[in-house]
Structure 1
Amino acid sequence: MGYDNLNKDEIEALNVQYLPSRTVSNMADYKENAGIRSARAREEGLGHIDVVYGSSSLQTVDIFPAAATGAPVFIFIHGGYWRGWDKALYSEIAPVFNNAGATVVLPNYDLCPAVTIPDIVDQMRQALKWIYENISDYNGDPDLLFLSGHSAGGHLTGMMMATDWAEQYGMPANLLKGASPLSGLFDIMPHRYTDLQDDIHLTKEEALANSPQNLELHCACPVICAVGGGESGSFLRQSQDFTEKCRKAELSCEYMALRTDNHFDITNRLHDPDDPLVLAILRQMGL
């Protein structure tokens, strides 16, 4: 799709396609309920909260260690369109993955408009480097890193898959042993024209350089590309296109369109140990 000279109606159509607030009337309920469950998980668990990985106040991770050493590590990046939400909303996933034998890491990052999307991508690279170098202190195996994220977190997951870890950071080329972007945004060019642009200030050059759909994938890991079956045609297409890209790169990639899920139903699954999405991710991790 070309985006030059969009009229008012075409811009509004993009907003409807990409902004869940336009189509999920009870969006606030999902956030409130996840927050309640996550607060309970932090109260009951043994998490290390706000561990610093970078220089700014939001460059922190929450870590929920597995009971045994040498555990696979499940890293989950929150969404919020690069401008909102917080890792604290996803503590609820820790008991499920801990009980299965994984260490869980939830990273935060600075938010637009205080920073740009390229800044956030760089912060996530810093976070993964820190996790690789330090996760053994939390019963995690640095050679078993599995990355997931939702929405903007799915975008960031894709960007980590497109990072040349060996060339840029002197780290193992196969840093990621598995990836599972959920409702990901792999071509971010449309957001130069949605209402998000007021906060993200995305340039054309930044959109091209930070869209995983346009970039070479440097990973060699299996992928689960999941999206809510009830999401907009644009969200479905983005996950379908990225699945095709992964397969063309000869990656094993499972595409999951989950029933009639909306944009928030899909992450609502992650606190249920018997959910098909959770079970697929655990299988990817060998658990």
Structure 2
Amino acid sequence: MVDEELERLYSPSRWSKRFDATQVIQHHVKVVSAESEISKSSIPNEIGLRYGPRPAQQYDLYGGESLPQNAPLFVYIHGGYWQELDRNISAYCVRPLARCGIRVAIVGYTLAPVAPLEEIVEEIRCALQVILDQANLSGCQCVWVGGHSAGAHLALSALFGLKTEEQASTAGLQLLRGLVLISGVYDLVPLIKTTVNTPLKLNEERAKALSPLVQLPGVRLAAWARRLHLLLAVGEHDSPAFIQQTQQLAQLLKGRVAGVEVLEVQGVDHFDIVENLRSDNHVLTKRLKELILDSKQH
């Protein structure tokens, strides 16, 4: 049974000031697809690196030999409510970062309903393990992990959901400096009564188990996690529910990690907050570059 108010609150496309709900998504796909093609043709890359056996378990690495071997790395996980979009059209942040010496990995994953959400989180965990281990072997200076919308949920869940013995299992984790979580959804319980849940098929028990806002209060963070800096970004014209969940996550993690910074980006919605990562002048692009480049000094 769909709750119309929750449906509205958890439909980010309904809150854009630029377009109607259908147009904003069409425009988003057009913009990110075009920019991703430019990234592929202009930045040295390795496309389709495997991290697992499923067809979608691949990532693309941008920077190649044009950057020093020890260049910092930004790992990006796309959104789409775990059921739409893919890595092929998610390379829109690559050019501004590569221009200032940052390598970028764009991660793909199996979408719902082909994979249940628990398996998607596990895929991202596996991807991050592979990418961090490879970064460690190549002499990378530091790694940041970011995600948009569902991708922010996956980044946080995959890293902070690690069990203690797994947390210490890789030297690659020591390279992690922080997370950049953009317009994320961190409590999945309200989604049960929306059409988002049609392919997810979540019940309350599973939704709670998959919700960082529900699970994190009881988690004792490992030493490497407590050293991280978190940038939680959200758009002025995001849905009030997304803004509220970002603020709740900030409160929950303050004092438990090295730093929590909330950045409400003025004049943007759920979609152009990341579309504009293709621009050097976007406030979020600038902050992302500062954080990564500053952390490689430490």
Shared fold per TM-score greater than 0.5:
yes
Partner of 2:268: 261
Match of 2:248 among 238, 241, 247: 241
Once the two structures are superposed, residues 72-94 of structure 1 have per-residue CA deviations (whole angstroms, 9 ceiling, x without a partner) of 11001000000010112222221
Q: Is the 8 A contact 1:146 1:176 kept in 2?
A: yes
In the aligned structure 1, how far is the partner of 2:248 from the partner of 2:258? 14
Partner of 2:46: 48
Once the two structures are superposed, residues 168-212 of structure 1 have per-residue CA deviations (whole angstroms, 9 ceiling, x without a partner) of 261246453111100011111111111011110112222122111
1:116-135 → structure 2 map (5 Å cutoff)? 116-135=116-135
Partner of 1:186: 186
**Correspondence 1:57 to 2:49:** no
In the aligned structure 2, how far is the partner of 1:207 from the partner of 1:159? 13
Runs (5+) with no aligned partner, structure 2: none
In the aligned structure 2, how far is the partner of 1:86 from the partner of 1:209? 25
Once the two structures are superposed, residues 19-50 of structure 1 have per-residue CA deviations (whole angstroms, 9 ceiling, x without a partner) of 12334422211211210121122122211111
Q: By how many angstroms is 1:248 displaced?
A: 3.6
Count of aligned pairs between the two proteins: 277
Q: Is the 8 A contact 1:72 1:140 kept in 2?
A: no
What one-letter code is carried by the residue in structure 1 that aligns with 2:176? L
Q: Is the 8 A contact 1:231 1:262 kept in 2?
A: yes
Taking structure 1 as reference, are residues 140 and 106 closer, same or farther at Cα in structure 2, changes over 3 Å only?
farther
**Correspondence 1:18 to 2:17:** no
Q: Is the 8 A contact 1:77 1:108 kept in 2?
A: yes
Partner of 1:225: 232
Q: Which 10-residue stretch deviates more, 209-218 or 47-56?
A: 209-218
What one-letter code is carried by the residue in structure 2 that aligns with 1:39? E
Q: By how many angstroms is 1:101 displaced?
A: 1.1
In the aligned structure 2, how far is the partner of 1:87 from the partner of 1:174? 26
Q: Is the 8 A contact 1:74 1:102 kept in 2?
A: yes
Partner of 1:39: 37
Partner of 1:81: 81
Q: Is the 8 A contact 1:161 1:176 kept in 2?
A: no
What one-letter code is carried by the residue in structure 1 that aligns with 2:80? G
What one-letter code is carried by the residue in structure 1 that aligns with 2:285? V
Partner of 1:3: none
What one-letter code is carried by the residue in structure 1 that aligns with 2:182? L
In the aligned structure 1, how far is the partner of 2:258 from the partner of 2:247? 14
Q: Which 10-residue stretch deviates more, 34-43 or 221-230?
A: 34-43
Once the two structures are superposed, residues 116-140 of structure 1 have per-residue CA deviations (whole angstroms, 9 ceiling, x without a partner) of 1110100000001110222367x66
**Correspondence 1:171 to 2:167:** no
Normalising by structure 2, report the TM-score.
Answer: 0.87
Q: Secondary structure of 1:259's partner?
A: strand
In the aligned structure 1, how far is the partner of 2:131 from the partner of 2:97? 17
Runs (5+) with no aligned partner, structure 1: 1-6
Q: Is the 8 A contact 2:136 2:175 kept in 1?
A: no
In the aligned structure 2, how far is the partner of 1:160 from the partner of 1:144? 18
What one-letter code is carried by the residue in structure 1 that aligns with 2:30? E
Q: By how many angstroms is 1:229 displaced?
A: 0.8
Q: By how many angstroms is 1:166 displaced?
A: 5.2
Q: Is the 8 A contact 1:165 1:175 kept in 2?
A: no
